[in-house]
């Protein structure tokens, strides 16, 4: 396998998720050979190993779908759902059975995986051509935008409660991270030109 042609899309403990054209590989770092191979016949854009279980992973696809797999049994998907009109650029577990998807149709959605239904849609961000940053922690969701702004949402509200623009030389927010320090929630967001904004969410 030509590792220089692979894109690293996900990592969790001792597992790596790599993509090469239409094939996807989950590697065990203790084993030099591929742990398993998936052939999904479509491009994978974002991957997340759930921190709540060692066996489940979710990923977004170019066809507007997301998938959830149990890597112990990959012959069938646990969930296959049409999530967005356009490409699903990211899929992120926010709890055991809650998944956040980001589409390149200017929406992000929160899913109940028990029923495979969308329980909330975040609509006031812009992301049609770039893969923007996203993160979630406790009751917050943070989403980058192509208008050079980062937005913070309460998990079950559709409108943002905080909007912060980055330095004007950046054109979109490519990375976001939420960090808990005792009772405080802090946000770091990065623009595509290297500018960073830092916020304490309890004081904004």
Q: Which residue has the higher pLDDT, 91 or 1?
A: 91
Torsion over CA: 10, 173, 86, 160 (sign):
positive
pTM confidence score: 0.83
What mean pLDDT is predicted for residues 170-183?
93
Mark whether 1 and 91 lie in a shared domain: yes
Mark whether 113 and 148 lie in a shared domain: no
- Residue 10's pLDDT is 46
Mark whether 48 and 143 lie in a shared domain: no
Report the alpha-carbon distance of residue 117 to residue 122 in Å, rounded: 15
Q: Is residue 5 predicted with pLDDT exceeding 60?
A: no
Q: Is residue 26 predicted with pLDDT exceeding 50?
A: yes
- Residue 141's pLDDT is 96
Angle of CA points 49, 80, 14, to nearest 5°: 15
Mark whether 119 and 134 lie in a shared domain: no
Mark whether 90 and 131 lie in a shared domain: no
Expressed as residue numbers, the domain containing 168 is: 126-204
pLDDT band for 179, please (50, 70, 90 cuts): very high
Contact in structure between 108 and 122 (CB atoms under 8 Å): yes
pLDDT tens for 114-156 read 999 999 999 899 999 999 999 999 999 999 999 999 999 999 9
pLDDT band for 28, please (50, 70, 90 cuts): low
Q: Which of 64, 88, 123 is the last residue of a domain?
A: 123
Mark whether 76 and 169 lie in a shared domain: no
pLDDT tens for 61-83 read 888 999 998 888 888 899 999 99
Report the alpha-carbon distance of residue 186 to residue 179 in Å, rounded: 5
CA distances from 203 to 124, 165, 184 (A): 22, 17, 9
Q: What is the DSSP letter of 191?
A: E
We report the CATH number of the domain holding residue 11 as 2.130.10.10
Q: Is residue 21 predicted with pLDDT exceeding 70?
A: no
Contacts 24+ apart (CB under 8 A), 138-143: 138/180, 138/185, 140/178, 140/185, 140/201, 141/94, 141/100, 141/108, 141/110, 142/176, 142/178, 142/187, 142/189, 143/102, 143/108, 143/176
Mark whether 156 and 85 lie in a shared domain: no
Mark whether 188 and 89 lie in a shared domain: no
Report the alpha-carbon distance of residue 71 to residue 57 in Å, rounded: 7
């Amino acid at each position: 396998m030509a590792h220089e042609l692979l894109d690293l899309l996900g990592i969790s403990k001792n597992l790596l998720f790599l993509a090469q054209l239409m094939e996807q590989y989950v590697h065990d770092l203790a084993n030099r050979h591929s742990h398993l191979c998936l052939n999904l016949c479509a491009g994978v854009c974002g991957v997340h190993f759930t921190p709540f279980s060692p066996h489940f992973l979710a990923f977004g696809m170019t066809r507007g779908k997301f998938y959830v797999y149990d890597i112990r049994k990959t012959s069938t998907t646990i969930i296959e759902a049409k999530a967005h009109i356009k490409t699903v650029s990211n899929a992120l577990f926010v709890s055991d059975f809650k998944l956040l998807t980001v589409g390149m149709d200017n929406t992000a959605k929160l899913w109940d995986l028990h029923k495979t239904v969308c329980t909330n849609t975040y609509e006031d961000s812009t992301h049609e051509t770039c893969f923007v940053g996203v993160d979630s922690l406790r009751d917050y969701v943070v989403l980058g935008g192509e208008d050079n702004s980062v937005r913070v949402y309460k998990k079950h509200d559709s409108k943002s409660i905080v909007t912060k623009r980055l330095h004007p030389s950046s054109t979109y927010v490519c990375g976001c991270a939420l960090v808990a320090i005792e009772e405080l929630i802090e946000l770091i967001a990065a623009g595509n030109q290297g500018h960073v904004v830092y916020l304490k969410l309890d004081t904004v």
